[in-house]
Chain A
């Protein structure tokens, strides 16, 4: 069965509510950006915006006083800063997975959620990019993250995974932004053509670049989109692999493991899907998009979380097994210390949130339960933050000699910086919901049955030699 076949013919459910038309899709998505914002939006926006202020204040204070305002100490030289960095980058990964990987696999259900998830990627990566920049200590040396020689003419070390990380994350940010903007062009043209006042017409018109839906353009456009998807797929796998190299290439028990790249990528997808779920369930109910984001989407996303959650659980178990099997006593100690030492509380929060909670989704009744999906998605967000905390802090806090043992206590500035980064993320996200079509209008139209140029014709002509799905095809067509 070809991937162009109507969705019912391949045994799937409707991807949008059955009564949807081209017009109703345009209306449903565009009206969110045109009507005055609901009161709830303002409350959420002002809250998020004040937390952005908290972030700026915390960073300002950090720059003024120095890294001592954080709880980082010796031996715990990396703590919440890098935990937050890895957590935010990971959250971004689901957006690319949905927009690129599921696109290449022709998973049409992604169409309702891809715009949303891509926006989340970009905002999460913006939050992530803050942390490596501010934790360098002497911020006036932050330029040395980029390949620029210092005053002695010395270049950054290209053999260092920290430098690779700079290239990986900034490439990821740039490519994700381009991918997102390319996807937006036809929808910005839709907003331009619906604009009631000249300011909207000017702004959306400028951004739409004079898009006129020309088929001679669509051809290059679709090719560009496919190439970007094909480029983003290895890119997204490389980004979290490179992030994991920051740990894996160091000679540090608990970090120096070959399982890290795939384990980090699975965890990233897991946490990203959880964040998409959290945001989507809120936006879906606030902006009444239940026709476009259906139960099918929620269920499929919960299945992905079950799969990636189980992968992560496998990785935890395998790390433990290898720690024992390697016979390396330092490695063994780090792992036993993780589960039973002073940070056992963090370890068991991680295990219960990441490994146990998604197992509920084996039951169809539970994975189609909206409040439960929401609660589990929050648990996973928390659990994945703790995963990074456990990896970073528990591996560092007991160095090789007991005289270099310590314990990490977060300070107020640690906490305000983290909460502030959430504020920045939600500020950007709420602005996106308000001003940008949050669902890909053009793409969603193209999966309606009416979008098939042979819609309504006799199927013997249109789909010759295709016996497998005939009855279903006929039903689809007669339904309209």
Chain B
């Protein structure tokens, strides 16, 4: 257990974290599995790229994003139908080329494009919503070593708020997973 440990302070009122740095995706994933098996729920891994199998290693369920996109896609389709029917069918019907004012085949391109457009909005902004982004202030950013999380290092963070968290035993559990380094990010003023 000769893992180097340092402490970084965070401003009062921010959640405190335990942050461990790993050299490889495999080591990071093993640590996540260990935390999952110990019953932790408020922990996370931070990696430069998505790692296959990490969702299962962390015991996460499936993403709910698809449902948001479905709802938005249907909204887009309905918007298209309503817009065309109102504009060319009800508000100011004009006969062009002898076709009826409400001509279903001509709906297809615009309705299709609006379905795609609103689905894409759903996918992007739904993802931001589920991830609670943008969020420019997070305790992990207090750590200087954490800058490598977008380069070549792999991190595990455990929140003090986790019901399983124990100020003595959790660092030991983390140390047993062979991290490069452990950092305690806490409110040292209180």
Q: How far is the CB of B50 from chain A (nearest CB, A)?
A: 4
Q: How far is the CB of B15 from chain A (nearest CB, A)?
A: 14
Contact B26 A457, beta carbon cutoff 8 Å: yes
Secondary structure type dominating chain B contacts: helix
Contact B48 A220, beta carbon cutoff 8 Å: no
Within 8 A of B (CB), among A229-286: 231, 234-235, 238, 242, 245
Indicate whether A121 reaches chain B with its CB closer than 8 angstroms.
no
Which of A171, A209, A219, A451 is the one whose CB lies under 8 Å from B133? Answer: A209
Indicate whether B2 reaches chain A with its CB closer than 8 angstroms.
no
Within 8 A of B (CB), among A199-229: 205-206, 209-224, 227-228
Interface range on chain B: under 10, 10 to 19, 20 to 34, or 35 or more? 35 or more
Q: Within 8 Å CB of A231, what residues of B?
A: 116, 119-120, 123
How many angstroms between the C-alpha atoms of A17 and B110 in the bound complex? 45
Tell whether A213 pairs with B109 under 8 Å between CB atoms, given A182-B124, A452-B25.
Answer: no
Q: Within 8 Å CB of B32, what residues of A?
A: 215
Q: How far is the CB of A20 from chain B (nearest CB, A)?
A: 11
Tell whether A454 pairs with B49 under 8 Å between CB atoms, given A209-B135, A219-B60.
Answer: no
Interface range on chain A: under 10, 10 to 19, 20 to 34, or 35 or more? 35 or more
Contact B124 A212, beta carbon cutoff 8 Å: no
Which of A60-68, A296-304, A380-388, A439-447 contacts its partner?
A439-447
Contact B65 A215, beta carbon cutoff 8 Å: no
Closest-by-CB residue of A relative to B26 is A453
Tell whether A157 pairs with B94 under 8 Å between CB atoms, given A171-B116, A238-B109.
Answer: yes
Tell whether A210 pairs with B110 under 8 Å between CB atoms, given A22-B152, A227-B66, A453-B51.
Answer: no
Indicate whether B126 reaches chain A with its CB closer than 8 angstroms.
yes
Indicate whether B151 reaches chain A with its CB closer than 8 angstroms.
yes
Contact B66 A189, beta carbon cutoff 8 Å: no
Q: Within 8 Å CB of B131, what residues of A?
A: 214, 216-217, 220-221
Contact B26 A155, beta carbon cutoff 8 Å: no
Contact B47 A215, beta carbon cutoff 8 Å: yes
Contact B113 A147, beta carbon cutoff 8 Å: no
Within 8 A of B (CB), among A163-210: 163-164, 167-168, 171, 174-175, 178-179, 181-182, 186, 189-190, 192-194, 205-206, 209-210
Which of B3-11, B83-91, B161-169, B172-180 contacts its partner?
B83-91
Contact A190 B150, beta carbon cutoff 8 Å: yes
How many angstroms between the C-alpha atoms of A375 and B18 in the bound complex? 57
B residues sitting closer than 8 Å to A (CB atoms) are 24-26, 28-29, 32, 44-55, 58, 60, 63, 65-66, 69, 83-84, 87-88, 91-92, 94, 96-97, 99, 103, 106-107, 109-110, 112-114, 116-117, 119-121, 123-124, 126-128, 130-131, 133-138, 140-141, 146-152, 155
A residues sitting closer than 8 Å to B (CB atoms) are 4, 21-23, 26, 147, 149, 153-161, 163-164, 167-168, 171, 174-175, 178-179, 181-182, 186, 189-190, 192-194, 205-206, 209-224, 227-228, 231, 234-235, 238, 242, 245, 441-443, 445-446, 450-457
